Structure 1
Amino acid sequence: MWRSHIRFIIGVLSNYSLSLAERDTPNQNTLKTTFQFFARMNVISKSRYLEGLWCPLLFWCRFNDPSRIPELDRMSLFRMSVGHRIGDLAKGLFQGGVEVPHGSDSIRRTLELLERRVPLFEPAFSSDGLFCKVDLLVPAHEDEWDLFEVKSSTKVEEKHLLDVAFQLYVLKLCNVKVRSASVIVVNNEYVRRGELDVSGLLSSYDVTDEVLPLVSEVADNVAFLRDVLSGPEPKVSYGIDCREPDKCPVCSKVLEGFSIFRLHRFRSKAYELINEGIIDLDSIPGDVRLSDKQRIQVDCERSGKLHVDVPLLREFLGGVEYPLHLLDFESFNSAIPLFDDTRAYEHVPFQFSLHVVKSRGAEPEHFEFLAEPKGDPRAQLLDALRVVGPSGSVMAFNVGFERRMLEQLCDLFPESSSFLHGIIDRLVDLQVVFRDFVIYHPDQHGKTGMKAVLPALTGKSYGDLDVSRGDEAMVLFQEALESGRRLSEGERRALLEYCALDTQGMLDILRRLYDLAS
């Protein structure tokens, strides 16, 4: 039954995008047209099938109340385009292949091309109100075929097995014999040196044995989803029927209004309580055990007052040495390695902001670097980074990322390892006082990241910036780099303003901490 394998759905369609084989050029108009077509015809595609098992309410809304589902944001569309490019690379592994044209004629053209016994790219199949496109269908001996599903992830995940199972079920209805089923993923151990080696970048895994037991469950799953589709709006139990409510575009909107949902590191227990009708922090039963951090949050949100552990705060501030350097990197992580000595999804820094304060209370100096989107930016970034002095703390917010960027630069430029290790050895993490709840403001709502702490303590925010998130900066730069175009003046200004606010924000937070400690 469908529930026996619902555990496989964790994380599926977290950006509720179409699968590789079902998408065209990713834009809102194309997606709307596709969704509206399937909804009007009550056709269940493989993406909708997986979506329905992930959250029946989301599935119901897709067909019956699509206005409740927000449009995909720029990051989601970018991820889809990445998947499309990986798919195009995978096609190059099979010589003599034929692309099945998109559109209303795709099923008829697929039937014609099957007779030619050549590799088919994105053939379309439909039967009994079900529809799927197969990424790659390659002829095997006699009248059989090998099926390949292409994913831009770096490992075969359980959700991929359900994806392939649905395809095998539909192909069986269409009397297409499949000998084997495989999933092609990105190999993040491959290091580019010279021309891109697609056979090294992509790895194929035979999943036939794992998938066959799931094929027998598709019919029951489809019957369940059709009942959902034809019935009233389903009531879901969070964490059970909807497996990841915080990532569901429908359920997450409901949960945002519940204060108990914002309790720090309390998600699974919060779902249980919400399902019982307990939605506010004030209503948490006395027999529910809370951690010390959770208790601090509850007390602060009830009182509306700031929590400060002054001795621990003074201890932290006492370890800050001047001249103080406040550092923040921005990076991109392409699925397809663009430069020598890089792996798939390896973060490549292209920008930094640095505020230097020579002594406590002194006016800061600001230094910044933003590479032009052409070629490997790391050598230029390293040269610009030499404004970091030989003494004093180097502060970052969530320092693990900055440490990793510096260590990667050490590996790439061993002749500069002494300078870079001199920075690494002086790193101080500003986030630690918030992560440890040395300080907690009720307006943080359980979060300890920069986007929550800065407005809570200083009143400043990223809301008015053209680029207000790290992933937006990454997409903007990477798209320019891959298309070979220069950044416009407006784009450069937006990137510089965003990165500068990260380090200026740390400085503003630090000043507030000194006030609280005194």
Structure 2
Amino acid sequence: MPMKPLSKSRLMAYRQCPRRLWLELHRPELREDSAATQAIFRTGHQVGAIAQRLYDPDNTGTIIELSPERVADALAQTQALLGSAAPIFEAGFSASGARAFADVLLPVNAVDEPDAPTWRMVEVKASTQVKPYFRDDAAIQAHVARSAGVPLTAVALARIDSTWTYPGEGDYRGLLVEEDLTAEVFARGAEVQTWIDEAQAVARSADEPGTRAGRQCSEPYPCGFVAHCRRDEPEVAQPVHWLPQIRSTSLRAWIDAHPGASLGDVPDTLLSEIQRRVKAHTVSGEVYFDAEGAAADLEGHVFPACFVDFESINFGVPVWPGTRPFQQVPFQFSVHRLEACGTLSHRSFVDLSGDDPSRAFAHALIDACGSDGPVFVYNQAFEAARIRELAERFPGLSTALLALETRIVDLLKVARRRYYHPAQEGSWSIKRVLPAIAPDLNYATLDGVQDGGMAMDAYCEAIDPQTPAVRRAQIGEQLTAYCALDTYAMVRLWQFFAGRQDLGLCSAESVKEQ
């Protein structure tokens, strides 16, 4: 029986895990892609569309329409266009048991040989780095194209330049930068053919490979079959992946060598101090709380105190002039302001107009936080970076913004150093710490938006011109409630860590009513 060609995506699935390839072919209905994976796909399509404009500014090229039902037509159309001298996008080739579609195919010597041009291939990636598996991807593309008889003379990988700033007016020149991979990928033809042969053997097998779940389930990218592959594995009550910051080579090697191990099995000699704390208190079930140390960390911060949280959006393809690819642009904040008497007031900002929210955000933030007192956040690196970026973009606000940054106090640092509850499962996210300290606060009770990912999705829906005004208003209310809970949660964490349970919190509105 002749081999049915395997697509490049199938070969990349094999490179990640043979079981993934088999499931892609034989049990595709079991695949469950996360919202994050879907977002990556959307960004990839956007970058691909812009690449077509950049590589064909005169609009003389051809985009080959792809669909599962018309693969043969796409391959035939590619063959016909190879005799021309214009750019081809999504050019398809099939040879040596594999099939591939090139993002960009550009004629090289079209002026001298208009009837028989040679070609330069460009693979476009919605990433700011050239990742190792991108090189495998390009090697597959090049091998299949050359095996199909394409006179290929060069191969490059185009990635996003994270330092580029969008000038506006739809001008994306400079968004992409190239790295030439010609010599590397041309030298890997035999290696690629080995992958194809091995993948074909897996594809023909009637039995699902028994590959155990492991690091390959998330590297180099998340696999949608994880739930299926782990369904029959014994459930570990305290899994090793609860350990925070698993980075050391020796610890990763031990975990790989002991699949199904429990947290208590890991040798202490392989663990950092914080990892040993997580292990010890998870296994014992005892809460760790250095109350004296936490109070000392927070001592000396005067009132009034502001508790601040931002929500942001990071478009891979910038839409606002002055912003960079994947730059975190804040569109919302919540500020709870606590007075010495326990009076608590709230200010919020959210811009769903679709315009760049940055300048209005900066003005409102400066006004809401005032000019004195600590500014408590939960993960200083995020908010501080956003404030510095705003100061750089808007020099007229720089002094006030940078003064605000100097007032930041990070509650996450206090939590990591002084507190751990076994229910945190190795995480110090505010949603993990809060249930043990303030069980009356629950993100699950919120309507619509319950985490940062949902906030970004809601924001994108709100700024879509097709979204009705009523729905946009509803999203605004949901975002405001979510962000407000984040900052009120910080107030409660501060109260606990500072040992100020004696401070009775009351809203500014209730004080006015009295």
TM over 0.5: yes
- State how 1:419-434 maps to structure 2 within 5 Å: 419-434=400-415
* Ranges in structure 2 where 5+ consecutive residues have no aligned partner: 503-514
Residue 352 of structure 2: aligned partner: 372
Q: Judge conservation of contact 2:25–2:203 (CA < 8 Å) in 1.
A: yes
- Among candidates 53, 57, 60, match of residue 19 of structure 2: 57
Q: Judge conservation of contact 1:101–1:109 (CA < 8 Å) in 2.
A: no
* Cα 1:356/1:203, change in 2 over 3 Å: same
Q: 1-side partners of 2:379 and 2:25: how far apart?
A: 42
Moved more, 178-187 or 48-57: 48-57
- Among candidates 495, 503, 508, match of residue 511 of structure 1: 495
- Among candidates 328, 337, 343, match of residue 347 of structure 1: 328
Residue 506 of structure 2: aligned partner: none
Give me the CA root mean square deviation. 2.7
1:264 equivalent to 2:234? Answer no
* Residues 58-104 of structure 1: CA deviation (Å, up to 9, x unaligned): 2222223334431x233322322221121111111223111112231
* Cα 1:280/1:381, change in 2 over 3 Å: same
1:160 equivalent to 2:134? Answer yes
Q: Judge conservation of contact 2:166–2:172 (CA < 8 Å) in 1.
A: no
One-letter identity of the residue aligned with 2:146: K
Instruction: Give the CA deviation at 1:508.
Output: 2.2
Q: 2-side partners of 1:240 and 1:462: how far apart?
A: 30
1:216 equivalent to 2:190? Answer yes
* Cα 1:516/1:129, change in 2 over 3 Å: farther
- State how 1:149-228 maps to structure 2 within 5 Å: 149-228=123-202
Q: 1-side partners of 2:51 and 2:221: how far apart?
A: 33
* Cα 1:284/1:403, change in 2 over 3 Å: closer
One-letter identity of the residue aligned with 2:326: Y
Residue 76 of structure 1: aligned partner: 37
- Among candidates 434, 439, 447, match of residue 419 of structure 2: 439
Residue 233 of structure 1: aligned partner: 208
Moved more, 227-236 or 110-119: 227-236
Instruction: Give the CA deviation at 1:444.
Output: 0.8
* Residues 272-302 of structure 1: CA deviation (Å, up to 9, x unaligned): 346335511233357x433222222122112
**Residue aligned with 2:443, SS:** coil
Q: Judge conservation of contact 2:462–2:475 (CA < 8 Å) in 1.
A: no
Larger Rg: 2
Moved more, 266-275 or 488-497: 266-275
**Residue aligned with 1:364, SS:** strand
Residue 282 of structure 2: aligned partner: 301
Q: Judge conservation of contact 1:78–1:475 (CA < 8 Å) in 2.
A: no
Residue 98 of structure 1: aligned partner: 62
One-letter identity of the residue aligned with 2:40: R
**Residue aligned with 1:181, SS:** strand
* Residues 246-282 of structure 1: CA deviation (Å, up to 9, x unaligned): 9444447739845222122336625634633551123
**Residue aligned with 1:488, SS:** helix
* Cα 1:393/1:240, change in 2 over 3 Å: closer
One-letter identity of the residue aligned with 1:100: I
Residue 483 of structure 2: aligned partner: 499
Q: 2-side partners of 1:136 and 1:304: how far apart?
A: 57
Q: 1-side partners of 2:43 and 2:221: how far apart?
A: 24
Instruction: Give the CA deviation at 1:393.
Output: 0.7
Instruction: Give the CA deviation at 1:448.
Output: 1.5
Q: If the length of structure 2 is used for normalisation, what is the TM-score?
A: 0.84
Residue 115 of structure 1: aligned partner: 83
Residue 101 of structure 2: aligned partner: 133
**Residue aligned with 2:384, SS:** helix
**Residue aligned with 2:428, SS:** coil
Q: 2-side partners of 1:492 and 1:42: how far apart?
A: 51
One-letter identity of the residue aligned with 1:109: Q
**Residue aligned with 2:343, SS:** coil
Moved more, 225-234 or 440-449: 225-234
- State how 1:463-502 maps to structure 2 within 5 Å: 463-465=444-446, 466-481=448-463, 483=465, 485=467, 488-502=472-486
Moved more, 292-301 or 326-335: 292-301
- State how 1:275-290 maps to structure 2 within 5 Å: 275-277=257-259, 279-285=261-267, 288-290=269-271
One-letter identity of the residue aligned with 2:453: D
Q: 1-side partners of 2:278 and 2:389: how far apart?
A: 37
**Residue aligned with 2:188, SS:** helix
* Residues 123-172 of structure 1: CA deviation (Å, up to 9, x unaligned): 22223442211111112224311111111112322221111111111112
Residue 47 of structure 1: aligned partner: 9
One-letter identity of the residue aligned with 2:420: Y
Instruction: Give the CA deviation at 1:374.
Output: 2.7
Q: 1-side partners of 2:220 and 2:40: how far apart?
A: 21
Q: Judge conservation of contact 2:379–2:411 (CA < 8 Å) in 1.
A: yes
* Cα 1:278/1:480, change in 2 over 3 Å: closer
**Residue aligned with 1:126, SS:** strand
Q: Judge conservation of contact 2:96–2:193 (CA < 8 Å) in 1.
A: no
Q: Judge conservation of contact 2:378–2:411 (CA < 8 Å) in 1.
A: yes
* Residues 414-459 of structure 1: CA deviation (Å, up to 9, x unaligned): 22223222211110001002333x1101011111222322234323
Moved more, 208-217 or 427-436: 208-217
Q: If the length of structure 1 is used for normalisation, what is the TM-score?
A: 0.84
Q: 1-side partners of 2:457 and 2:444: how far apart?
A: 18
One-letter identity of the residue aligned with 1:195: E
* Residues 3-50 of structure 1: CA deviation (Å, up to 9, x unaligned): xxxxxxxxxxxxxxxxxxxxxxxxxxxxxxxxxxxxxx9642111211
Q: 2-side partners of 1:345 and 1:470: how far apart?
A: 16
* Ranges in structure 1 where 5+ consecutive residues have no aligned partner: 1-40
- State how 1:374-389 maps to structure 2 within 5 Å: 374-385=354-365, 386-389=367-370
Q: 2-side partners of 1:351 and 1:197: how far apart?
A: 27
Q: Judge conservation of contact 2:332–2:361 (CA < 8 Å) in 1.
A: yes
* Cα 1:277/1:189, change in 2 over 3 Å: closer
Residue 29 of structure 1: aligned partner: none
Instruction: Give the CA deviation at 1:516.
Output: 9.0
